[in-house]
Amino acid sequence: MDLKTSCPQKILTAENAISKIKIGSRVFIGTGCGEPQHLVHAMVKSKFLYDILIYQMLSHTLSKYIDQDNFLNRFSLKLFFISRDMRKAAFEGKIDYIPAYLSQIPSLFYSKQIGLDFALIQVSPPDRYGYCSLGVSVDITRAGLVNAKTVIAQVNPKMPVTRGDSNVHIDEIDFVVEHEEPIVNYLPAVKRDNVVAQRIGHYVAQLIEDGATIQVGFGTLPDVILQSLIKKRNLGVHTQVITDGFLPLLKNKVITCKKKNHIPGRVVASLCMGTEPLYAYVNENPMFYFRSSEYVNDPNVIAMNDNLVSISSALEVDLTGQICSDSVGYMFYSGIGDQVDFLRGSAMSKGGFSIIALPSTAQNGNVSRIVPNLSEGAGVATTRGDVGFVVTEYGVATLKSKSIYQRVTEIAQIAHPKFRDELIKSAKKYHYIFAGQIPPAQDDLIFLEDYKTSYRLKNNKTIQFRPIMPSDEISSRNFFYSLQEKRVYNRYFSKHKVLGRKALQDQLASVDYRQKMVLIGLVMRGDHQEIVALGSYAQEGDLQLAEVAFVVRDDFHNMGIASFLMDRLENIAKENGFMGFTATVLDENEAMANVFKKKYPDLKTVRQEDGVSHVTMGFDNS
């Protein structure tokens, strides 16, 4: 459609279009990378505008003017999210932040709780039917333009054409300003050292299975997390924002959306924030389905996606699982945004869950982001009941269905080692945990990642094996009481009826992952894991030998689990300087004896009294 032919009366210069805005008007501006920069510049430069209320979600261009003399006397900024460009202004009290769930912002316009006189938006040129595209910014922009009394659109040939709910007919636009300029480029701040982010990505990737549908936010850490998913298969996407971090996964067909049950084959999103390669990729690409925020961020819509994994970040996490993501103390830093929407939607999703990912420290390692209680003034954006997992560079804390005592143990375990002891002391002071609770190890246990493995059973189920952690106390207790009395006797040489908390704590405290190692095998039961096998070794007497033992739950017998455990334990023991295993075996425990004979045909057996044999098994170091 040729605008000059079809609607010449609508075409104005930016200055003439802005002159339609009156003193005291309420003006909506399109979001972030989709904002009409040319119109914003013209509005600020107008000498006739005063007492203008501006509503925007992510603001970019206005950050160039906010420190100028007289700007704040003419314009009042009401922002739903504090962008990086506006953070300094927020700290200085120059903007007004409106905390709101992203899914609910459009309703503020539709209900007229926030009235709008003008909407300044940016669109692509109209097609032959008169439809323009909102391109990279549908989000709350559609609600803004629909509810404004007057719509002024910058028509920019460089705006990508996107599919979905991004169409705007020329009849919906009151005035048109034709102006070509580059779309705003917006990349996360680059950090020199990404080792911490890479470690976080490593742990996050362990939680995400092939075929899952993911939501990921904007920033350096989310981009590194996306890189860690490059070996996954058939991922889907239902997310608020698409960034350059998605491109490698899209181009390498890691993201296919083939396994999505809700809008299969399509990447569902609300806006794009990135650079020209990203904008070129989404342009007229039918794989992308852009919808407004009241749809994309509606927890009920999110929950329609099975296996939806929400990945978001935080500024602080306290020991009970409360999350602060929008303020540093009393200083507003970002916004509620889409986090709560996606956390609640993922919790309702069949097979879905949420992940909060953050570095364990800030300010060059001098401040812990894992804290006994949130900082004074910090906002609780996400309650302790909403979070599934918390991930730092030191591991994964599982919070869903966990008590305060269990949460403290899990979360302290993933704090920076130098802060763990103080966190446990604070938890005892607040009576979050028992006075005799053992603190987590002070070591950086990243080396334990090499000891994690999996084993596929004959029935195609998979057992995940990893070293036991102090936070496994309740799971270990449950495992003990799931064993038949005969298994307990064969393993512990006594008819234990009770495994007291102190005894279990003592066992866990003695595991140093070198001279004493305990591996546990876990299977998924619904949306949680439970222990079905345990194998251990511990240095006994001879410095070169370690005593080994294992126990497998009855319903997992005869599946090769014990032999697999023995292989794993031997490899770890060799790494730590041991030359062989010893074991004490009851004569009636034929299953254990057979595992040892199969693995070590040259073992030496010394029969002792009371139906017990002492077995010595040397490693083959060839």
Angle at which helices 195-207 and 220-227 cross, to 10°:
60
Structure tokens at 196: 């911490």
Burial of 249-268, coded b for 16+ CB within 10 Å and e otherwise, reads bbeeebbbbebbebbeebbb
The H or E element spanning position 198 is helix 195-207
Assign residue 525 a region: left if phi > 0, alpha if psi is -120 to 50, beta otherwise? Answer: beta
Which of 168, 174, 164, 178 is closest to 143 using CA atoms? 168
Assign residue 70 a region: left if phi > 0, alpha if psi is -120 to 50, beta otherwise? Answer: left
pLDDT (mean) for 547-565: 90
The H or E element spanning position 477 is helix 473-482
Structure tokens at 142: 């559609």
505 touches 438 (CB < 8 A): yes
pLDDT at residue 493 above 50? no
Q: What angle do CA 15, 18, 21 make, to 5 degrees?
A: 150
Helix (H, G, I), strand (E, B) or coil at 508: helix
Tell me the HSE value of 119 on the side-chain side, using a 13 A CA sphere: 26
Q: pLDDT per residue over 259-309, tens digit each?
A: 999 999 999 999 999 999 999 999 999 999 999 999 999 999 999 999 999
CA distance 320 to 316: 12
Give me the percent of the chain exceeding a pLDDT of 70: 95
Which of 83, 80, 71, 88 is closest to 32 using CA atoms? 83
CA distance 2 to 89: 42
CA distance 385 to 136: 34
3-178 and 451-618: identical CATH topology:
no
CA distance 480 to 494: 13
Q: Where are the domains of the chain?
A: 3-178, 195-429, 451-618
CA distance 2 to 176: 12
Strands 288-290 and 175-178: unpaired
Q: pLDDT per residue over 317-335, tens digit each?
A: 999 999 887 777 767 777 7
Q: Which of 361-365, 415-419, 488-492 has the lowest mean pLDDT?
A: 488-492
CA distance 34 to 347: 31
DSSP state of 255: B
Give me the percent of the chain exceeding a pLDDT of 90: 64
Please write down the HEC assignment for all residues of 556-575: HCCCCHHHHHHHHHHHHHHH
The model's confidence at residue 529, banded by pLDDT at 50, 70 and 90, is: confident
Structure tokens at 305: 């996606």
Q: What are phi and psi of 620, to 5 degrees?
A: -85, 105
Question: pLDDT value at position 276?
Answer: 96
Burial of 56-72, coded b for 16+ CB within 10 Å and e otherwise, reads bbbbbbbbebbeeeeeb
pLDDT at residue 34 above 60? yes
Long-range (24+ apart) CB contacts under 8 A made by 483-487 are 483/551, 483/553, 483/554, 484/554, 487/551, 487/553, 487/554
With a CB cutoff of 8 Å and minimum separation 6, the contacts of 351 are 306, 307, 527
Which of 372, 381, 309, 305 is closest to 339 using CA atoms? 381
Give the homologous superfamily in CATH for domain 3-178: Glutaconate Coenzyme A-transferase (3.40.1080.10)
Most confident of 370-384, 429-443, 482-496, 560-574: 560-574
Question: pLDDT value at position 490?
Answer: 47
Q: pLDDT per residue over 71-105, tens digit each?
A: 999 999 999 988 888 889 888 999 999 988 899 99
Concatenate the DSSP letters of all residues of 85-133 into one string. GGHHHHHTT-SEE----GGGHHHHHHTTSS-EEEEEEEEPPP-TTSEEE
CA distance 616 to 177: 86
DSSP state of 235: B
The residues with which 155 forms a beta bridge, in sequence order, are 123, 178
Question: pLDDT value at position 386?
Answer: 85
Task: Look at 490 and 502; give whichever has higher pLDDT.
Answer: 502
Mean pLDDT of the chain: 90
pLDDT (mean) for 223-229: 95
Q: pLDDT per residue over 11-23, tens digit each?
A: 999 999 999 999 9
368 touches 416 (CB < 8 A): yes
Question: pLDDT value at position 526?
Answer: 64
CA distance 550 to 552: 7
Distance of CA 286 to the CA centre of its chain: 27
Structure tokens at 114: 């926030």
Chain length of the chain: 622
CA distance 26 to 74: 12
Rg for the chain, CA atoms, rounded: 30
pLDDT at residue 186 above 90? no
Query: Domain 451-618's class?
Result: alpha beta
Model-level pTM?
0.86
Pick the CATH number of 195-429 from 3.40.1080.20, 3.60.110.10, 3.50.50.60, 3.40.50.10490: 3.40.1080.20
The residues with which 604 forms a beta bridge, in sequence order, are 616
Tell me the HSE value of 428 on the side-chain side, using a 13 A CA sphere: 12
Cα distances from 496 to residues 348, 499, 530, 613, in angstroms, run 41, 7, 21, 21
pLDDT at residue 405 above 60? yes
